[in-house]
Amino acid sequence: MHPHFWLLLPQEILTVVLSQLDTQDLARLAATCRTLWRDAPGPPPRPMPPLRPMGPVETELRRRATAHGLHIGSSLPEGALSWVPYLLKRALRDAQRREASLAVGGGVSVFVDAEGGMLTCGRENRQPACNYPRFILGHDWGADVDPGQPRVIGPPTPVPSMQGRRIASVAASHWHCLALSRTGQVYSWGNGGSGSLGHANGSARAVPSRIESLSRIESIAVGPYLTSAAADDQGRLFTWGRAGSTAEAMPTGLGYKLHPGIHSQLTPKRVDALSGDRVVGVSLGYGFTLAVTDAGAVCSFGYSREGALGHGSFEAEVLPRWIEALAQTGRRFVAVAAGTLHAFALTEEGELYGWGDRSANGHGPNQAHFEPTPRQLTAFVGHPVKHVGAGRRSSCVVTEKGELFTWGDGSFGRLGHNSVMDESTPKRVEGLRAATVTVSAISESHHTLVADADGGVWAFGGGMALGLGTPGAVQPQDYVLQPSPIHTLRVRASESPGVLQFRWYR
């Protein structure tokens, strides 16, 4: 198609077309036809100059920024050459916070490749001795397999039932997984105990099944407590799964009370306490939930073991409560990450605040066993953060420069420092100095995954879910203490190659 074809469309139709493109496709279009994004020339100066004319791409990017709660100033920041490259940079970063091309769970890894296809690898027990079968790889093994033997997939392998669907984001825990399509549909599979899969019958699902009650979803999350959450394009937050307590005065970790005697919420239910706010991000820990709104505020609810709620105490919260210590900073928060018993909040400027379990909150060894009040991590002062992940007593951070830092529980080599030693403060992963890291995911069990700016994937840690095996072979359970590339996989790059030529503001 000739690049100037777009200029022949009526403005009304062009506006509709641009609104249907995802951020990376919009970036590619802008790179192909720069007439669409260059600042339109203004009329000669007058005593009262009119508003600056804007091209259609800039108009669409500003609309998206407003919808997602991004504050856009009236003048370009220092170093920015033009509005569209700057706005695209912001939009791509916002999309990266809401979309995940990789996820790690207990013995499983889930990936979204460059074409939007979903792949998994790892190990699941088809019929373990306990009453909680782990159908977590998403593959239908058929009836002619030994139900008593574990199923193992060495290299990342496409999930047959998801072929033909473009996936935007994946989330994984020890027991269940979610996948979000680019059309806003949510699929779940794994252990259906306590309603974690969002289906009314609460049964396990070996292959991904659509949650019919959810649509137009923009972000998803799963937790180690058999809980799940999703936020739609109107900012409504839905939660479902296991109830932490059925006592009238105790929390469920879901953001609402359940009737006495009810132990789980089988289908997604809206958190009505947040009906006056627009939720743009959510993360789940062990019995607690964090949510961030388009206004840049952070709330939490559920259990507060080791001060995980961030309210300065260890009292549980039935309903969402705003974290006052974060509000008092005067900062606008854009992302949250919940580990098993610790948590983080990230500001628009790349400042990182942590609290909860001392071993993983990033504040170092010279602190109390619990940190119930959020404090800024001094390790990243002057080194803006663009992505943060939290697992079981371990954490990872990606800086604006593409550096990866990990700390916490170092068992199985999950920190990537060529050892199994713990690290009380953030430490850079030396094995990735030559790579520009864009996103990382650290497991609640044994391993860590990392993606670079070119879509390459690296893995380290222990277990069967590293994806380093070759087709037809079973991966050994050796520890991998340093980042190793998964040569058979390419995930969706976090920044569109077609936009890099803009030489945008950084």
DSSP letter string over 242-296?
Answer: E-S--STTS--SSSS---TT--EEEEEEE-GGGTTS-EEEEEE-SSEEEEEETTS
DSSP state of 306: G
Q: What is the Cα–Cα distance from 264 to 257, expressed in whole angstroms?
A: 11
Per residue of the chain (506 residues), what is the pLDDT tens digit?
544 555 556 666 677 677 777 776 777 777 666 666 555 444 544 444 455 677 888 888 888 777 665 667 777 777 677 888 888 877 766 666 667 899 999 889 999 998 999 999 998 876 544 445 568 999 987 765 666 677 888 899 999 999 999 999 999 998 999 999 999 999 999 988 889 999 998 888 999 999 999 999 999 999 988 899 999 988 999 999 998 765 555 677 899 988 877 889 999 999 999 999 999 999 999 999 999 998 899 999 999 988 999 999 999 999 999 999 999 999 999 999 999 999 999 998 899 999 999 888 888 887 667 789 999 999 999 999 999 999 989 999 999 999 999 999 999 999 999 999 999 999 999 999 999 999 899 987 889 999 999 999 999 998 788 998 766 555 555 789 999 999 989 997 665 434 434 433 33
Instruction: List all residues 6 or more positions away from 271 whose beta carbon is below 8 Å from its beta carbon.
Output: 237, 238, 239, 254, 255, 256, 320
Residues found in the chain: 506
| Res 476: pLDDT | 54
Beta strand segments in 89-204, E: 102-105, 108-112, 118-125, 150-158, 167-172, 176-181, 186-190
pLDDT for position 188:
97
Residue 85 host element (H or E): helix 83-98
CA distances 46 to 125, 299, 429, Å, are: 74, 48, 56
Specify the pairing of strand 342-347 against strand 370-376.
unpaired
Specify the pTM. Answer: 0.84
What is the CA angle 203-204-210, rounded to 5?
Answer: 90
Which residues, in sequence order, are bridge partners of residue 230?
220, 238
3-state SS class at 442: strand
Q: Quick one: angle between helices 83-98 and 23-32, nearest 10?
A: 160
| Percent of the chain whose predicted confidence (pLDDT) is above 90 | 52
Would you tell me how many other CB atoms lie within 10 Å of the CB of residue 201? 10
Q: How far apart are CA 217 and CA 185, in angstroms?
A: 6
CB 211 within 8 A of CB 198: yes
Residue extents of the structural domains in the chain = 3-39+53-69+78-94
- Beta-carbon count within 10 A of 354 CB: 28
Distance of alpha carbon 309 from alpha carbon 286, whole angstroms: 11
Find, among 342, 429, 443, 434, the residue nearest to 106 by Cα.
Answer: 443
Using CB atoms within 10 A of its CB, is residue 350 exposed (0-12), middle (13-18) or buried (19+)? Answer: middle
Which one, of 239, 237, 231, 344, lies nearest residue 287 by Cα?
A: 239
In the prediction, which pLDDT does 26 show? 73
In the numeric block, which tokens belong to residue 181? Answer: 């399509």
pLDDT at site 272: 97
* Amino acid occupying residue 153: I
| Interior angle at CA 179, CA 174 and CA 184, nearest 5 | 150
The rounded distance, in Å, linking the Cα atoms of 343 and 405 is 16
Task: With beta carbons less than 8 A apart as the criterion, state whether 426 and 86 touch.
Answer: no
* Beta strands at 217-223 and 404-408: parallel, antiparallel or unpaired: unpaired
* Buried residues in 91-118 as b, exposed as e (16+ CB within 10 A): bbbbbbbbbbbbbbbbbbbbbbbeebbb
Question: Is 292 in contact with 345 (CB distance < 8 Å)?
Answer: yes
Task: Report pLDDT for 10.
Answer: 67
